[in-house]
Copies of this chain bind each other. A is one copy, B any other.
Amino acid sequence: MTTAGGGWTLVASVHENSIYGRCTVGDRWSSQQGNNANLPDGDGNWSNRNTFGAAEGATSDDFKNPGYYEIRAEDMSVWHVPNNFPLEHWNLAAILRYHTENHFLRLYGGNLFQMFSQYPVRYNVGSPGNRGPAIPIVYDHGDKESTKMLYGPKPRGEFEPGFITFRAINNERAAMAICSGVKPVRGYNTEHYCIGGGGYFYTDQCGDFPSFDWDRLGREQGWSASKEMTEAAVLLFYR
């Protein structure tokens, strides 16, 4: 396991290998089985002991090590690193880096594996707008304003930056695992700004970055996230 200064340990990365794939090969953090309501949990990797990838390749493919479910941690750090940057440049290249400081993981079993057993990442598990905890963050690189600008113009009206939110439910009852840097407060079209998920979404939205490309006209228009966000892996650290 890789420690990134200050005692942080990398336990996972969420990498979107193809924004065009709809729960296809490589969508390990949602489903690789196609959009299927019969598989509400999808691949289930938020809540199982499966592991994959290598730390050195964490910006080139999905990654999950045993630390994800074994470590008993207190806080989380999240780095958004443009795809394919090597480990030695993650810090410098990141478009966003932040961490929590309130030891929230103590309340939820000490890691995301435990957190998501309480808040399952599963289609139709809750009502639209329902969510797990939203934890305030401290920025190491970037700020609330830059976080906001990394998502599309329309989502900006739906969330409040400065938080990491867990297990958000959207209007079609699809579940997402993490809203990185933001807390959904209205509208709840979370598929445009939250990542990971269960196995079923509204048509054409299933995937690790579910519907970051909704407005195909171009990046950062309408609901579509910026090119920067879409092409950056989300690295998850524990401490």
User: Across the interface, do A39 and B56 meet the contact criterion of CB distance under 8 Å?
Assistant: no
User: Across the interface, do A20 and B38 meet the contact criterion of CB distance under 8 Å?
Assistant: yes
Judge whether A47 is part of the interface by a CB distance below 8 angstroms. yes
Q: Tell me which residues across on chain B come within 8 A of A130, comparing CB atoms.
A: none
User: Across the interface, do A25 and B33 meet the contact criterion of CB distance under 8 Å?
Assistant: yes
Judge whether A61 is part of the interface by a CB distance below 8 angstroms. yes
User: Across the interface, do B18 and A33 meet the contact criterion of CB distance under 8 Å?
Assistant: yes
Complex Cα distance, B57 from A43, in Å, reads: 13
Judge whether A132 is part of the interface by a CB distance below 8 angstroms. no
CB distance from A28 to the nearest CB of B (A): 10
User: Across the interface, do B61 and A57 meet the contact criterion of CB distance under 8 Å?
Assistant: no
Using CB atoms, name the residue of chain B closest to A27: B25
Complex Cα distance, B49 from A33, in Å, reads: 25
Judge whether A48 is part of the interface by a CB distance below 8 angstroms. yes
Q: Which of B38, B48, B51, B56 meets A51, CB within 8 Å? A: B56
Interface residues on A, range: 20 to 34
Judge whether A17 is part of the interface by a CB distance below 8 angstroms. yes
Q: Tell me which residues across on chain B come within 8 A of A43, comparing CB atoms.
A: 17
1/0 contact string of A170-194 vs chain B (CB within 8 Å): 0000000000000000000000000
Complex Cα distance, B83 from A86, in Å, reads: 32
Complex Cα distance, B48 from A60, in Å, reads: 6
The residue among A34, A47, A60 with the most chain B CB atoms within 10 A of its own CB is: A60
User: Across the interface, do A49 and B38 meet the contact criterion of CB distance under 8 Å?
Assistant: no
CB distance from A123 to the nearest CB of B (A): 14
Q: Tell me which residues across on chain B come within 8 A of A51, comparing CB atoms.
A: 54, 56-57
Query: Which residues of A are at the interface with B, using a C-beta cutoff of 8 A?
Result: 17-18, 20-21, 24-26, 32-34, 36, 38-39, 43-45, 47-51, 53-54, 56-57, 59-61, 66, 83-84, 86
